[in-house]
């Protein structure tokens, strides 16, 4: 994410604070080796198993996994008539994954004859991540999508005095927040649950998946006759680099103000 979005070197707008000038197309591609074993599973069958996968970085997009065709089970694939065209890569042909009574339509694509500037894509194929059932990074189940090695999440204890306001109502106030810094995103304060007005919160059924932090749960804030839907979130079982933020709450809504005191 850090290479292709925000002010990364492959983003659409290059950063101004550099002493170099990038020359080349405005839309940039970079293929790099992925350093671990990847496996894709559908309907109980391993569709792909590779220690030679690559990540394709493309301006404005999340990195996409491509796998060598030799590491994909062609007996589970059925070619389709579907095609798409990318001016930076060429014409993509598609295959469905067919296992027993289950079919993942047009789940895999490949550039059989990529344009010359992306010729290194020949012999590789990619899958729509969500159309298969499971992906494994070594022996660990992947949450959401594959992690970009250039993306970081840093969690730091802080003694800043921070509060959250809805109009004039204090929703949360603390002098012991966590500051979560994530590549390409603004810093976020996370509040201890004890420093948040729990009487104003009601849990919702909303959940989102972050491959770097885990599965987020959400709450709605109700203040008088005002309802701020899904304005609060937390990672109850935060993972890996974000584990210190487990159970802490953060806030984002147009009608909320997060301020330092």
- Residue that finishes a domain, picked among 94, 110, 141: 141
Residue 29 covered by a domain: no
d(CA 200, CA 231): 11
Q: Which pLDDT band, with edges at 50, 70 and 90, does 7 fall under?
A: confident
Cα dihedral 233, 240, 51, 146 in deg (nearest 10):
10
Q: Residue 50 is inside which H or E element, if any?
A: strand 45-50
Same domain, 182 and 230: yes
Q: Identify how many contiguous H helices and E strands the chain contains and give both numbers.
A: 0, 21
Domain, as residue range, for 120:
34-54+65-141
**Which pLDDT score is estimated for 2?**
72
Same domain, 38 and 119: yes
- pLDDT at 48 exceeding the cut of 80: yes
Same domain, 109 and 194: no
- Which is it for strands 64-68 and 162-166: parallel, antiparallel or unpaired? unpaired
Q: How far is CA 4 from the centre of its chain?
A: 13
| CATH number of the domain that residue 126 is part of | 2.170.150.40
The per-residue pLDDT for range 87-137, each reduced to its tens digit, is 999 999 999 999 999 999 999 999 999 999 999 999 999 999 999 999 999
Q: How many domains, the chain?
A: 2
Cβ(231)–Cβ(256) under 8 Å?
A: yes
Among the ranges given (10-19, 176-185, 218-227), the one the predictor scored with the smallest mean pLDDT: 10-19
Same domain, 38 and 126: yes
- pLDDT at 9 exceeding the cut of 80: no
Predicted TM-score (pTM) of the model is 0.88
């Amino acid at each position: 994410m850090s290479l292709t979005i925000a002010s990364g070197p492959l983003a659409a707008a290059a950063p101004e604070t550099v002493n170099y000038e990038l020359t080349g197309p405005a839309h940039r591609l970079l293929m790099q080796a992925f350093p671990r074993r990847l496996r894709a599973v559908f309907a109980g069958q391993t569709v792909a198993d590779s220690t030679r996968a690559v990540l394709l970085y493309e301006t404005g997009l999340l990195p996409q996994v491509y796998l060598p065709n030799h590491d994909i089970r062609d007996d589970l694939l059925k070619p389709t008539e579907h095609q798409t065209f990318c001016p930076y890569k060429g014409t993509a042909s598609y295959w469905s994954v067919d296992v027993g009574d289950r079919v993942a339509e047009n789940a895999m694509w490949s550039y059989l004859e990529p344009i010359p500037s992306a010729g290194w894509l020949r012999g590789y194929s990619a899958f729509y991540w969500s159309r298969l059932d499971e992906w494994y990074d070594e022996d660990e189940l992947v949450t959401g999508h594959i992690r970009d090695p250039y993306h970081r999440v840093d969690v730091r204890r802080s003694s800043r005095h921070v509060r959250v306001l809805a109009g004039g109502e204090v929703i949360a106030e603390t002098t012991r927040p966590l500051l979560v810094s994530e590549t390409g995103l603004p810093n976020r304060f996370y509040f201890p649950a004890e420093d948040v007005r729990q009487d104003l919160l009601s849990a919702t059924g909303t959940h989102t998946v972050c491959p770097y932090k885990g599965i987020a749960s959400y709450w709605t804030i109700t203040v008088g006759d005002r309802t701020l839907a899904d304005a609060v979130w937390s990672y109850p079982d935060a993972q890996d680099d974000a584990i210190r933020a487990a159970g802490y709450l953060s806030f984002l809504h147009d009608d909320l103000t997060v301020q330092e005191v």
